[in-house]
Structure 1
Amino acid sequence: MTRAVGRTADWFTSPVPRGRIAAFRTLIYLFVAADLVIFTPWVRQHADTPTDLYQPLLIGRLLPLPVPTPLLVHAIFWTLLAVALAAATGRAPRLLGWTVFALYFEWMIIAMSYGKVDHDRFGLLVALAALPTAGRARHGEADRTEAGGWALRVTQIAVVCTYFLAAWAKLRFGGLDWTTSSVLAWAIVRRGTELAHLVAGVPYLLILGQFGIIAFELASPLIFVLRGRWRLRAVAFFYGFHLATFATITISFAPHLAAMAAFLPLERVRPVRAVRGFVAARRGHVGDHERAVVSEGGHLLS
């Protein structure tokens, strides 16, 4: 029993390079900033929505959180945008990290308390709650951290739960009949692309697709038993699934895709080194060009 508990604890806190935490942190906080201005700019419209239409989610009633007003909505937007960009630098990871989580959490309450609740934000919210506990980390740092391993692990679990619980909801409310229903056909009618309409013309392909979706979502926890390249291939399949979803019915799941990067060896991505290399290459190119011009000019003068 003691050994089993110990192994479980080791699995939850399996150490990872600090460079991976630094890269994941930068990615997540930059996504939050992008989310405000690209993916969910419509949330700012709630500043002008009548307050009697605000029906807060359960968590918003339990805390309780304030009713959105123009001052509150715009203040959260600009403050969160500035703090997220600052947090992406890796400075003051706990102070800025907890601030981003609190502000984004309230931003999502405002977004989802008017009748529509998205489930693609779960993994991102867990990542925002876990990252402040990971401590300091720098890009390219090879030292390993158990606190960082825990932050990534709980994010990975949240990502997988998003799939598995989606299948559970389908079977709970639609039963096995969901697999043979017209769910995908209805989605294609509502928001399908030209590619989707081509796919819909193939007999029984949509039904097979629905069986495949249920099987994929139920099997998603198996990613935790995969190792090395097999796990990376599974993650690539996850991303491919969402690429196909966007290409056919234009649902992006962008927050979920950002959180899913917790499975990737992001420490191999060195943005600072890449930028420095690009700048050095450009300088070298310009220097070579100038030397060539001087040399050619001297040749002509001679």
Structure 2
Amino acid sequence: MRRLLARFDRAFFAEAPPERLALLRLLVGAFALVYLCARAVHLQRVGHLPPGSFKPIGVVSVLSAPLPLWAVRGLTGAAIAAGAAFVAGYRFRVAGPLFSALLLWVLSYRNSWGMVFHTENLLVLHVIALSLGAAADVYSLDARAARVSWERGAAPAPDGRYGWPIRLFCAITVTSYFIAGVTKLRNSGLDWATSDILRNYIAYDNVRKVALGDTHSPLGGALVRYRFLFPPLALGSLAMELGAPLALFSRRIAVVFCGAAWLFHLGVLLTMAILFPYPLLGVAFAGFFELEKVRDLRRPRRAGAIIEDRRA
């Protein structure tokens, strides 16, 4: 048992450079901030809905009645302000947890009025994970105050405190997909991969949208004519979801998982016109990659240019 715990400790708290965690903060924080700003009007509009439509979920369950409109607007504005501080890395020890709490509340409050946007869950959990770590030690306003000491050779070095938030980020990602796969098995069993369940679901979704005058997928409507296409697609999605935890143990498997999950969401968009922007933009999978190496892509070119200049 001790050996198992020791191996878990070494894996979960594996060293990582501070730049990787900071870049992850910038990517996820920027997405969350833009998302809040883009939906600000919609998030506040629930204040005009009939009180009888209020069905509190999650953390909002502490409420027995809707908040006044001024409180809804104030919390939305506060979430946007805290999001800006999160991205900028300004007083992150306070701004990080504050933003995660406000983001959780604001989105949960909106989802307490009918339709639940499950696409937001992974984003909120990722923000919470990053807010708990030292994600603003570099590439932040907080880091400016420490720049003098860094110039003397005390710059943050790779450390486990930069690694564990990234590992938690990745663990949350694979868990969300694994739960989706288990849910498919619980609801449909292996029939999900051997029957017309996926085909019928795509057909139903598009017919319903056409009837309601909503955006639908002409491609999905055309493909349901070809029955043989859907069992392999259903089996592939199930394998990707149930195999997701393996991505935590191998970088190669992680790359395969990220690619398969991205293709899955692309397929959902093309066949059902359902957009999952967070994974489709790749932000949801950013924790699996060495983000800090992106800046090194141009270095060989620069070195080559210097050599050529010297020869000339």
Q: TM-score range by the shorter chain?
A: 0.7 to 0.9
- 1:117-168 deviations in whole A, cap 9, x for unaligned? 2333333222222222322321498721312211111121111111111122
Contact kept in structure 2, 1:29 and 1:87, CA below 8 Å: yes
Deviation at 1:264, TM superposition (A): 2.0
Residue identity opposite 2:182 in structure 1? W
Residue identity opposite 2:67 in structure 1? P
Residue identity opposite 1:236 in structure 2? G
Which residue of structure 2 aligns with residue 8 of structure 1? 8
Moved more, 128-137 or 90-99: 128-137
**Is the alpha carbon distance of 1:21 and 1:208 closer, same or farther for their aligned partners in structure 2, counting shifts above 3 Å?**
same
Deviation at 1:39, TM superposition (A): 5.7
Contact kept in structure 2, 1:35 and 1:41, CA below 8 Å: no
- Equivalent residue for 1:240, pick from 255, 263, 268: 263
Which residue of structure 2 aligns with residue 268 of structure 1? 293
Deviation at 1:173, TM superposition (A): 2.6
Matched, 1:37 2:37: yes
- 1:260-299 deviations in whole A, cap 9, x for unaligned? 22112222345xx9xxxxxxxxxxxxxxxxxxxxxxxxxx
Deviation at 1:66, TM superposition (A): 6.8
Which residue of structure 2 aligns with residue 185 of structure 1? 203
**SS of residue in 2 equivalent to 1:134:** coil
Which residue of structure 2 aligns with residue 172 of structure 1? 186
Aligned partners of 2:52 and 2:227: how far apart in 1?
48
Over aligned residue pairs, what C-alpha RMSD do you find?
2.8
Q: Structure 1 unaligned segments of length 5 or more: list them.
A: 274-302
Aligned partners of 1:4 and 1:64: how far apart in 2?
43
Deviation at 1:184, TM superposition (A): 2.5
Q: How many residues align?
A: 271
**SS of residue in 2 equivalent to 1:31:** helix
Contact kept in structure 1, 2:18 and 2:158, CA below 8 Å: yes
- 1:192-223 deviations in whole A, cap 9, x for unaligned? 42332333232321233223222221111121
Which residue of structure 1 aligns with residue 143 of structure 2? none
Deviation at 1:23, TM superposition (A): 0.7
Q: How does 1:1-302 map to 2 (within 5 A)?
A: 1-38=1-38, 42-61=42-61, 63-64=62-63, 67-135=66-134, 136-139=136-139, 143-179=157-193, 180=195, 181=197, 182-189=200-207, 190=209, 192-227=216-251, 229-256=252-279, 257-270=282-295
Aligned partners of 2:64 and 2:103: how far apart in 1?
13
Contact kept in structure 2, 1:123 and 1:156, CA below 8 Å: no
Aligned partners of 2:222 and 2:39: how far apart in 1?
28
Aligned partners of 2:181 and 2:81: how far apart in 1?
37
- 1:233-268 deviations in whole A, cap 9, x for unaligned? 432232222122222222222245533221122223
Using structure 1 for the length normalisation, give the TM-score.
0.79
**Is the alpha carbon distance of 1:168 and 1:231 closer, same or farther for their aligned partners in structure 2, counting shifts above 3 Å?**
closer
Deviation at 1:230, TM superposition (A): 4.7
Aligned partners of 2:190 and 2:257: how far apart in 1?
26
Which residue of structure 2 aligns with residue 287 of structure 1? none
Aligned partners of 1:58 and 1:133: how far apart in 2?
20
- 1:98-120 deviations in whole A, cap 9, x for unaligned? 11111101112112112322333
Moved more, 229-238 or 144-153: 229-238
**SS of residue in 1 equivalent to 2:113:** coil
Residue identity opposite 2:220 in structure 1? A
Aligned partners of 1:16 and 1:230: how far apart in 2?
19
Using structure 2 for the length normalisation, give the TM-score.
0.77
Aligned partners of 2:219 and 2:181: how far apart in 1?
25
